[in-house]
Chains A and B, each alone.
Chain A
Amino acid sequence: MVHSFVHLHTASAYSAHYGVSWPEELVQAAVADGADAVANTDRDGLYGAIKHVKACMAAGVDPLLGVDLAVLEAVEGGAAGRGAGPQALVECGRVVILAHGGQSLAAGAGYAALCRLISSAHARPRGPVGLTLDELAAGVLDPHTKAPALTVLLGPFSDVGRAMNGRRYLLPRSKFRAWNAAMPPGTLAVEILSHLSAPGTPLSTTHAVRLLKLAEEFDVPAVLSNAVRYGSAEDAPTADVLDAARAIAPLRHVDDLQPTGQGWLKSAEQMRKIAREILHQGGFGTAELTQLWTNTHQLADKCRLDPTTDLGWKKPTTPEASVLGLTQEPAAELWQRTNAGLSHRFPGLRGKELEDVRVRLTTELDTINELGFASYFLTVAEVSEMIRTMGVRRAARGSGASSLVNYLLGISAVDPIANDLLFERFLSRDRSTLPDIDLDVESAQRHNVYHRIFEKFGSQRVTLMSMQNGYRARGAVRDAGLALGMEQGEIDGIAKDLWRFSASSFREAMAEKPELRDFAARVERNRMAGMGEGQLDLLVDLTERLDRLPRHISMHPCGVILGDSQLLNRTPVQASGMGLPMSQFDKHDMDAMGMLKLDVLGVRMQSAMAYAVREIIRLHPSKSDVVEAGNHPVDAAGEGPAYVGEGGHIDLDAIPLDDEPTFELIRSTHTLGCFQIESPGQRELVGKMAPREFNDLVIDISLFRPGPMKSNMVKPFLENRAGFAPARYAHPDLIPALQETHGVTVFHEQVLHTFHIMTKCSLSEADEHRRRLGNPAQEPAVEKTFRDKSTANGYSQAVIEEVWETLKAFGSFGFCKAHGAAFAVPTYQSAWLKAHHPAEFLAGLWEHDPGMYPRRLLVTEARRMGIPILPLDINASTGEYRAERTVGDVIGIRLSLADIYGLSGAELKRIVAHQPYDSLADLRDRGKVSRPILKRLAQLGALDSLQRQAQGISGNTANRADLVAHVNSLPAATPSRRQIMEGQLHLPLGELELGGLPALLPALTPAETVRTELDLLSLDASAHLMTSYGPLLARLGVTTSDRLLGLRNNSEVLVAGVRVATQTPPMRGGKRVVFISIDDGTGCVDATFFTEAQDKSGPLLFGTRMLLIRGLTRRTGPRGISLQALEAWDLSATDTLPLPPVAAAWGPAELH
């Protein structure tokens, strides 16, 4: 007889470092065995719950939800060794808690109780995560009806089960009695399970028998489970590796490895057999077997959840009207506000043009109201306005810019009419999920913004979204290596060569990738040698097993969930890294749960720009000063532009979008530090494309995407644009849609237009077609519709064929023009700042470090631009990189104390608070600087000014090395000494101290100074770090970056520098191309490594910092040149370099 079985205790992969299989796999395994329901009970939370429900719905079975939680017990602090006071809470066991469904309770009450219970288990600020028995007992009832809302499964992992070890017969019983007494009736069940371990050991059948007997004795229903951790028996070894990763110990040292590998999702038949075995061993008969089976299914039935009524599946939820301060219907409010926005945004519009805008607005509002989303837009507008009033820079990004409503509400700054952005791309009647509106804010203000959102809407309505961080290749190989007990150094050596591929294709990568060649050879040798010489083959297998498995949950970089007052009944929350509560759901769960997610993304570039604007005001505190400094246009009356305020404040959102110096800067390809266009590939593209207007930037940003790069749109576009080839249109009807990109389809919007023009479908239908492109299951239907309708509309087969090929190639890859337009705004603004106020702009970049490059490259950029780099100075430097006026009114940038290695925030604050200092003693006394920091300050030259000042009086000639030696010889300060010093040592002694140092040591060489700066500051401030390689480079015959542009195309050269960026963008044909950018002090060289060059360079490709590259120049445009690499060397391995065969090789002067 075939029985179906419902698994009540199932951990998915979302139980980090515990579960092995994805919810879909577990559900499929259950369904394949004929189950009509299956539970998900992840550890500590509902991390996999929504994915589980989705999988159950797709399979047509009922979902059950629960959690596997620790039960906490107070112990004496001393015994726990936690030092947390007399009593500390420690985990004494784990139980499963299942939510009851609407069948036995008010709909949603069981699920809500589960969410709240989990949140309270996470509520202790210092942990541990879990609940005491009392807390648990208090949380299992529905607060409104007092009916049981949850069932606790007391099984072998509980304190009762654990008490069975060591032949203690009384302890389990007394513990069980405590549970039975504490839990309200109808909320407790006993979980019987056997993993068939050796008799008398944990998870053995004998233990199951004893638990069953306790259940009998206390008349608590017993249910059967298998405490599932993986879908199939093959996955058991992965669970072992996860046990080791959890314990952070090699497998051989982990003492709580699963006792057997029996924790898979067993079939009903296998479960029946286990049940029989347990009951038989316990001396029970068929009646009890039937009872156990029946209990299990009765509990399962009680816990079946209806996604719609229990979870509110897909029902959009927004804050209540009252919270938004509305006194009328949201739809009426939205109508009123957008109409008010018309006169503000389109002041000059009249007649037909105004009418067109009104029609568009009506269309948008109709769609929004039909979907019931008015309050959603009002909510976003509320947040956006709140950020504005905080004085924080913000910008809408993404497809939200397509909406006129967003523009009128002030959410987006991009005019969708002027830029031809389509609302249908953003929202349509054919999709009922909440649209995404993303807001970029200054990164440094992001947390403040979050706090304000919580205050404004109330913490019961707001929570941060989380994200799951899964194993990638490097992490997987590290944990696999740890499990196998390999040496840290060896694992590190392997991990460093793993570069951007998924761990699951490790073996494949070993066969293909040159940087893994050495490793592959070692594995091969290892295999030949047999066992004993390491376990590299096993390492590769285990790494592949770990691929993508979630490791931990963290705060999503931007998602904020806004709901109504019931939000915390719908998602469990836990503390995030920044303290605010964070949902256990990630972005994939939002639509399913109808949750409104607002992306408030911290963008460092916005902080950098805001900083630059403040620095400009600080140095030029009036409108006329700023106009003069920035060379801004003045009118006939000598009055500067309106975007510069009287106090010198520049309104970046109001600067004109046709500023010639800005475009000239962009065309020069010196765009390091500019938003979106600073990468090597982008610098090459802007060099080729030579943007002349704002829309060119929109196109440029949209072209530089995987889709267009892969489908080779870039080349025809550039050729057509340059006039080398005439633009080609498959049919004249398409000219209006494709003209701006010279016949090449770049934007999603153009695909929509193409469908609309040729098939006469609506734009909203066209967007549905677009979304199905590239999906093998759905594309054929789109193709048929396209061909049929276009034919009916009189287009020739040749035209249809050509257009379809374009659409098909476009797939779902292209870019939404609204995204490009939204991105182009900060791109343009940053380029504008770099063109007009370079020093202040670079100071902002150094301060907020927004780009893809290390800060030291932006220091090099300042050097290239002739901006003075002002050294650290104990009196002139602060905790920020500040613009500073130097001789001749040139603006330089003063290095910040903040990035000195090891300097704590408190020390920094203290130093800055007591500036200026008149002597070393003064600095010690009032700044209370510790000796190691004092030494670093001396090494970095920050005390030079004090020394010079003292020497000016005494005529002493000691140098920085003498000063460092002196500081080094000072006794370590003790608290008592310091107090004496405060009273006595202040006045003249300091000057004597620095003014009277013995001059003993030779002066530091520039190379030594640079090395110290790199070590302590991570940047080379006094000179470029390549300077000391000068003699070596001269012997090699290296060409510098600034001279490359003067060379003929296809010249063979040697270049050398320090690596600043490595990229492996997706490429046409799927072949990997590696871009490596090096900086040689005169600028960047961007080298492209194709397959053969990768092969020749092997392991150097990713691991080496200082590179020598031989390659051919490739002219990329009037101002652009790059290198096609042929071979690379490690510049610091002098003996391997292709030096001309003279004398012995000589190394770089003392640098490496």
Chain B
Amino acid sequence: MGTFSDGIDVVQTAAGTPLHLLWQGRSYTLAAEPLRWYERRNWWDEELRAPLGTGVGLVDREVWRVQVRRDGAPPGTALLTLDLVKYLPAERWRVIKVHDAIHEANEPTAANNPEEEQGYGA
């Protein structure tokens, strides 16, 4: 996901789906069905400890691709597509990708674009 990462406040549904977002002073609401998956982390490069009995969120992190509409915007407004990451165990959220033409120009190439086929080693 490159180096882009930005804090975001997320209100979730009971099932854990992001519903309302507060990002850069603006609020958004989910407008289409989101997609969720997990991505590996190279935790051995990023972490200093991995004691027994801990480790949730060490190997992977939860990624959500949400389409949201800015609160108060008229119904025809284009949706904003964001990739959000949920960090465990602290449950902090960050935006790691903005699927918007304007933002996309500034964004480093997506290293882990999930649409790319990845080999599954034997």
Contact = CB atoms under 8 A, between A and B. Distances in A.
A196 B52 CA distance: 24
B52 to A, nearest CB: 6
Contact of A236 (B55, B114, B120): B55
A165 interface: yes
B99 to A, nearest CB: 14
B106 interface: no
Contacts of A235: 55
A484 interface: yes
A91 B122 contact: yes
Nearest to A247: B121
Given A259-B40, A538-B48, A198 B56 contact: no
B8 to A, nearest CB: 20
A1020 interface: no
B117 to A, nearest CB: 5
Contacts of B13: none
A200 interface: yes
B117 A538 contact: no
A200 B40 contact: no
B74 to A, nearest CB: 30
Contacts of B118: 165, 198, 200-202
B50 A201 contact: no
Contact of B120 (A91, A165, A199, A485): A165
Interface in B105-122: 112, 114-122
A527 B37 contact: no
Contacts of B75: none
Interface string A222-242: 000000000001111111100
A83 to B, nearest CB: 19
A204 B59 contact: no
B47 interface: yes
A256 B58 contact: no
A199 B44 contact: no
B76 interface: no
B54 A234 contact: yes
A535 B121 CA distance: 27
Interface in B31-55: 35-40, 42-45, 47-55
Interface in A83-136: 91
Interface stretch (A412-420, A461-469, A539-547, A1139-1147): A539-547
Contact of A198 (B15, B39, B43, B47): B39
Contacts of A238: 55
A199 B114 contact: yes
B47 A538 contact: yes
A270 to B, nearest CB: 11
Interface string A542-576: 10110000000000000000000000000000000
Contacts of A545: 50, 52
A414 to B, nearest CB: 47
A475 interface: no
A260 B37 CA distance: 9
A1099 interface: no
A531 interface: yes
A922 B37 CA distance: 76
- Classify chain B's interface size: 35 or more
Contacts of A200: 114-118
Contacts of A531: 48
B42 A252 contact: yes
A236 B60 contact: yes
Contacts of A91: 122
Interface string A193-209: 00111111110110000
A946 interface: no
B115 to A, nearest CB: 6
B48 A236 contact: no
A888 interface: no
* Residue in A165, A166, A259 whose Cβ sees the most chain B Cβ within 10 Å: A259
Contact of A196 (B36, B49, B55): B36
A542 B47 CA distance: 12
Contact of B44 (A166, A167, A252): A252
Contacts of B119: 165-166, 255
Nearest to A205: B37
A262 interface: yes
Interface in B70-122: 112, 114-122
Contacts of B114: 198-201
B44 A260 contact: no
Interface in A157-202: 162, 165-167, 195-202
B50 A204 contact: no
Given A197-B38, A233-B56, A262-B60, 4 more contacts: A196-B38, A198-B37, A198-B63, A537-B49
Interface of B: 15, 35-40, 42-45, 47-56, 58-60, 63, 112, 114-122
17 contacts: A166-B119, A167-B117, A199-B114, A201-B118, A234-B52, A236-B58, A236-B59, A237-B55, A237-B58, A256-B122, A527-B48, A535-B44, A535-B48, A538-B48, A541-B49, A541-B51, A541-B52
10 tightest A-B CB contacts, nearest first = A261-B59, A198-B114, A256-B121, A202-B120, A255-B121, A260-B38, A234-B55, A236-B59, A260-B60, A261-B60
